[in-house]
A and B are shown apart, each in its own frame.
Chain A
Amino acid sequence: MNSAASANRPAVLVDQDKHVFKVSRRNFIDPDILSMEKERIFESNWIYLGHGSELKKPGDFVTRSVAGRSILFTRDASGTPVALLNTCPHRGMQVCRERKGSAKSFQCFYHGWVFGLDGKLRSQPGEDSYDADFKNRESSHLTPVPRFEGYRDFYFVCFDRNIQPLVDYLAGAKDFLDVICDQSEEGMSIVKGTHEYSVRANWKLLTENSIDGYHASTTHASYFDILMQSNGGANFRSGAGRGYDLGNGHAVIQGQAPWGRPVADWIPAWGEEGKKEVDRIYARLVERFGEERAFRIAKMGRNLFIYPNLIINDIMAIVVRTYYPTAPDYMVVNSWALAPLNESAWSRKYRLNNFLEFLGPGGFATPDDAEALEHCQRGFSNYEDVPYSDISKGMNKENPSSADELQMRAFWMQWNKQMFPESAKAAKIKAA
């Protein structure tokens, strides 16, 4: 399979001295690359499953397809989150067929086997026809996901038992997750309602796009028209943000932006009532964290990428977005709005209003992103003659800005390391 990164056309081409960083377009179109990704990326890294706030009490559950696996995410009787592979040990049926709900136990209707919230087999019709020891065997129960850990209520699964603990894996992204979660004293929560859509493009294009500060002014020109003119007042300010490589493939761009943030950056369009609320929230953040960190939490926004497929963009609202390939040119996307638990009705309303203006398949920006990604995918049909994309912006700078491409290079370096360890090593030697 390594022929996909043939010597004359490496998957990622780097020359630090000449500020060259090129990514082969084959990475976006080759079915062999996709099958390698399934094993080396999606089975080998921590993959986001869901947020603890989606399960309020024992027995609450959601079923979810995560990286092609059918997973049942629930809380056991003690309230501890559990991630089970949603397949009956008997003949394989999905034991839970509802998308979400609340249960005391899970029954597979095919032959009537009943499992507890912890996945243990409780009963099966015709028990006397089974060995006396049957229920004591591990293979008689629902199988837990091989690895399952959470950090600040964000829960992840991994299919490789030997992966490092989640908190270590997160590396520098942990600090940015903290900054986002510190918006609320009571914790963050997922708002009801899920954006479930697709893009007819390779999944890695959405990674690039979600942390791309360069495309905004042209791709989203029509959104900025609305923000500046119709809404009667955004915050105009300069001061470009920065891009950071957070280690292990994670990356972020952080900076100030013209839009308002319910926590806590007021814009004139929100009027006096909004000002009172936003000032109150900001004052409390200063009390809790001091001026410097409060400013970072409230007045700066961030597009955080957690390798390989989780985006938490804390911008005019907070979107949690995860995506999976089902074909080289098709991805499935799920996204949610994250918000402080128990925030005021004013904050929630303005947050969601902000969210919808920009974000999601019916917003004024996301559909234009999808259009760009889909037409990149179409452009890749010229791969044989135009084999590389350029991701070198900002390589000639000490401190790349959020409109440079350092954060995408962080993704691609890790991707290359996991997909093509040998050629990645060679690229490093050349770079050094």
Chain B
Amino acid sequence: MTKVTRSEIEEFLFEEADLLDKWRLPEWLSLFTDDAEYHVPCMDLPADASPDDSLFYIADDRMRLGERVKRLMKRTAHVEFPHSKTRHMVSNVRVKEREDENIDVTSVFATYRTKDGVTDLYVGLSNYVIRQVDGAFKIRSKRCLLDSDALRPSGRISIIL
């Protein structure tokens, strides 16, 4: 197993953020493994809660994540049509390699969403499990833990965090 550096991981996360901000969502989706998960738990749950027995905001397996992307690219995803402007800021990246092929990565995020004259801010911690597949990084799981007490005043997580 080759050692990965923080700057390699950072470059990967910055690329992910850039694809999201450019609404190149099908390309963004290709960063995920076939068994990937994307989770946003409710803020009154412990960080390791399971969506099998607790209510989340988002608990996508790879199939639903694909549906999410497909939906967001349609005009009938009214909340995101026309597309909002987003800016995903990624910082405080820390990398911890495991014995197996997985790399644990934590980062903090501040994501701005602007639409119809209103700018909302989402702040929190992301827990990633990243793998190297054929020399490229792939996301096995991404869990975003929001710091706010509630989705107020944003009211929705209609973009991808």
Contact = CB atoms under 8 A, between A and B. Distances in A.
A219 B156 contact: no
Contact of A194 (B44, B52, B79): B44
A109 interface: no
Interface stretch (A175-183, A252-260, A344-352): A344-352
Contacts of A195: 42, 55, 57, 151
Interface residues of B, number: 40
Nearest to B117: A378
A295 interface: no
A336 interface: yes
Interface string A323-335: 0000000101000
Contacts of B66: 230
Interface stretch (B5-13, B67-75, B97-105, B125-133): B67-75
A226 B157 contact: no
A342 interface: no
A345 B53 contact: yes
A302 B151 CA distance: 27
Given A362-B157, A368-B78, A191 B54 contact: yes
A422 interface: no
B79 A230 contact: no
Nearest to A349: B52
A193 B45 contact: yes
A192 B157 contact: no
A184 B59 CA distance: 26
B152 A332 contact: yes
Contacts of A420: none
A356 B78 contact: no
B53 A192 contact: yes
A198 B151 contact: yes
Nearest to A197: B151
A348 B59 CA distance: 14
A222 B58 contact: no
B44 A99 contact: yes
B55 A336 contact: yes
A169 interface: no
Nearest to B72: A222
Contacts of B150: 196-198
A256 to B, nearest CB: 24
Nearest to A223: B71
Contact of B153 (A226, A330, A356): A330
A194 B78 contact: no
26 contacts: A192-B53, A192-B55, A193-B45, A193-B49, A193-B54, A194-B42, A194-B55, A195-B151, A196-B42, A196-B151, A198-B151, A200-B118, A219-B78, A221-B76, A223-B71, A230-B63, A230-B66, A230-B67, A345-B53, A348-B52, A352-B52, A352-B54, A356-B57, A360-B57, A362-B57, A368-B78
* Nearest 7 pairs of A and B residues by beta carbon: A193-B55, A196-B150, A362-B57, A193-B42, A362-B58, A197-B151, A367-B79
